[in-house]
Amino acid sequence: MIYTKEEFSKRLAELAGSSGLSELCASHEDKLYTICTQLDLKSKQFNLTAITEPEEVLKKHIIDCVFAAKTVKALSKGKGTLLDVGSGAGFPSLPIAAVLPEVSVTAMDATAKKTVYMNETAALAGIGNFNAVNARAEEAARGKMGEAFDIVSARAVARLNVLLELCVPFLKVGGYFVSMKGAAADEEMKEAAAATKKLGAVFVEKVQYSLPALCDERYLLVYKKVEKTPDIYPRNFSQISKKPL
Ligand code: SAH
């Protein structure tokens, strides 16, 4: 089951309106709708997401990721390059690319079928500023993608101390990491204090938001890279996860 285009546009307008996201969504409804129809069509086949009910997809995937896009826009002035690590079925990367057409978005995932899915969806939706690559973050960060991005984002990939080591190495000095977290944000931030310092980053701000009619807490944790990450990072994945910084 999926909303018709008319139902989707009406509901998106209502939810974006009550969330202060109308301006960002305006004129991008078609792209956002295609992201949802594709997910509905392919999620079972590819085991892409546990969220399939249309209202839930709209809130927990689209609106949630447009909140991230709002912060990305403020940090990047709507331009530059963004890498989304562990993007899965394209979250937050596809909605960010849809609503910020001047940001060049790269989505990375370790699973090849997910990157194929994301590139097909972007092509169908007419999202031209998007490219998905099949790679493991800790390996790719050691190649030409290292220290190459203005913004790095991630949602639901790993605990913050592990995630920082996977993400900060991709940032240029002066770039920002935006981590989408839930109720455990404060606890994860404390646990990640040492990792932040070792990787050359500093904590900048915690943006609290909530999804319409859902009471779970959501946060965007913003970190800035202030120094080049030492060459020893990222380590291989077993070290990163067994001995987090
Ligand atoms: N960000 C998406 C998907 C979360 S699931 C969302 O919020 O819906 C986590 C994803 O991260 C999976 O698709 C998995 O393949 C990917 N992943 C986990 N570790 C990774 C790594 N080290 N490098 C690249 N991708 C990774």
Q: Rounded CA gap, 142 and 108, in Å?
A: 14
Q: Rounded CA gap, 25 and 20, in Å?
A: 10
**155 CB under 6 A from ligand 1?**
yes
**165 CB under 6 A from ligand 1?**
no
- Residue 46 has which token pair? 């590819």
Supply the pTM of this predicted model: 0.97
- Residue 107 has which token pair? 């989505």
Checking if the pLDDT of 218 tops 90, the result is: yes
| Spacing, Cα 206 to ligand 1 middle (Å) | 22
Checking if the pLDDT of 134 tops 90, the result is: yes
| Spacing, Cα 241 to ligand 1 middle (Å) | 14
Sign of the CA dihedral running 156, 158, 164, 166: negative
Tens digit of pLDDT for each residue in 60-106?
Answer: 999 999 999 999 999 999 899 999 999 999 999 999 999 999 999 99
Q: Rounded CA gap, 89 and 120, in Å?
A: 11
| Spacing, Cα 70 to ligand 1 middle (Å) | 22
Checking if the pLDDT of 167 tops 90, the result is: yes
Q: What is the pLDDT of residue 1?
A: 63
**59 CB under 6 A from ligand 1?**
no
> Across all residues in the chain, what is the average pLDDT?
95
| Spacing, Cα 17 to ligand 1 middle (Å) | 30
Q: Rounded CA gap, 90 and 181, in Å?
A: 17
Q: Rounded CA gap, 34 and 211, in Å?
A: 21
**113 CB under 6 A from ligand 1?**
no
Q: Where are the beta strands (DSSP E) in 86-167?
A: 104-109, 130-134, 149-155
Residue to mutate (ligand 1; options 109, 138, 242; most atoms within 8 A of CB): 109
**87 CB under 6 A from ligand 1?**
yes
Query: Which residue from 117, 65, 67 is spatially nearest to 88, judged by alpha carbons?
Result: 117
Q: What is the pLDDT of residue 214?
A: 78
**109 CB under 6 A from ligand 1?**
yes
Q: Where are the beta strands (DSSP E) in 63-170?
A: 81-85, 104-109, 130-134, 149-155
